[in-house]
Amino acid sequence: MGYIGKSPEQGRYGKLDQISTGFNGSTATFNLTVDSEAVYPVNPQALIISLNGVIQQPGTDFTVSAATITFTTNPASGLAFFGVILGDALDIGTPSDGSVTVAKMAANSVDSDQYVDGSIDLAHMSANSVDSDQYVDGSIDLAHMSVNSIDSDQYVDGSIDGVHIANDAIDSQHYAAASIDNEHLADNAVDSAELAAGSVDIAHLSASGTASSSTFLAGNNAWAAAGSVTSKTYETTRTASSGTGNQDFTNAGFTPKAAFIIAFETATQAISFALLDSGTNGSVATYSQTQSSYPNIWQDHLYGFQVRDGSDFMDCTPSLLSNGIRFAWTKYGSGLEVMINFMLIG
């Protein structure tokens, strides 16, 4: 579009010529010139007008028409004036491809509306530009994690439970010292293989009673004083003339629990012995040795012993009494004279 007079310079400023000489309090409209040539502002916003140092509001304090300005209030005589006309706003159209450089772009002028979907790749991202605010919840899976990228700093306290621990993942290096107590041990979890040599002392035994130098650990898992052994020995003879019958010894002075008996025939020295206890009230081992023509007669005879010489012999079945022992003899043939040595044990 052509202009009458001086054309405004697009994108530049021009200082208006003085009009204050016409201020008289009665006149409101004045001509606008720059370097004595008329200028035509496109609208009031294209002018910056100051009266006596006060910037006037376009459209309110003044209006424009062609090359004139009209003040809402007639300027009084003596008011100072200056004015600037702004160049025309220029429509540059569509920039050529690749013609807009960073230097031509204002700060923060590009936001998410300007990005094409999928156009931001690693090459366009600066280091440390993505933090937790940019991640969608649940979007980080194993495929997006590097090896050894998670350590103890990333775990929330108490977040690792049994479901998250692999089998055999915890060994002795992971236990805190003294952290395994009775509550964490399963029944029968510790056997002799787990005990260090010499680690079980008296303090760790469950036995009742008090351990001391005068007690021992009995079979009933109790500390008991060692009992004294009472014994009494005898030597006696059973003659053939005495024959069948009982022979009692009741002056032991205690109740015997066992007896050890050795018997032999006085002439041939045929010998027999027996061990008698209170549990069976009979011998638990007997042995007989006669003269050479009758070797090992009646060996392991239960509840008794025998002394023999040929067809003449004496059978004996001993039994413990409350205060001694009884020998029940049976004579066969002419019988024999038998020497007996025995010990009663209480």
Under a CB-based contact definition with an 8 Å cutoff, are residues 313 and 336 in contact? yes
Q: pTM for the whole thing?
A: 0.36
Q: Where are the beta strands (DSSP E) in 19-163?
A: 29-31, 33-34, 37-38, 47-51, 54-55, 62-65, 68-71, 81-86
pLDDT score of 271:
77
> What is the C-alpha separation between 327 and 316, in angstroms, rounded?
6
pLDDT at site 69: 97
**What pLDDT does 93 receive?**
53
Tokens of 64: 């424009």
316, 306 Cβ separation under 8 angstroms: yes
Separation of alpha carbons 19 and 77, rounded Å: 11
Instruction: Give strand ranges (E) for the chain.
Output: 13-15, 29-31, 33-34, 37-38, 47-51, 54-55, 62-65, 68-71, 81-86, 215-217, 223-225, 231-238, 245-249, 258-265, 271-277, 282-289, 305-309, 312-321, 324-332, 338-345
The Cα–Cα gap between 271 and 294 comes to 12
| Residue boundaries of the structural domains of the chain | 13-86, 231-345
Using DSSP bridges, classify how beta strands 271-277 and 282-289 pair: parallel, antiparallel or unpaired.
Answer: antiparallel
Round to whole Å and give the CA distance between 177 and 166.
Answer: 22
Backbone torsions φ then ψ of 123, nearest 5 degrees: -65, -25
DSSP, res 57:
P
Q: In what order do the strands lie in the sheet with 338-345?
A: 231-238, 338-345, 258-265, 271-277, 282-289
Cα separation values, 92 from 85, 110, 233, 287, Å: 21, 19, 140, 137
Place of tokens 């050479």: 292
Q: What is residue 325's predicted lDDT score, i.e. its pLDDT?
A: 93
Cα 15 from Cα 82, distance rounded (Å): 8
pLDDT in tens, 235-263: 999 888 888 999 999 998 999 988 988 88
Could you give the CA distance from residue 150 to residue 143 in angstroms, rounded to a whole number? 14
Q: Which residues of the chain have a pLDDT value below 50?
A: 11, 91, 281-302
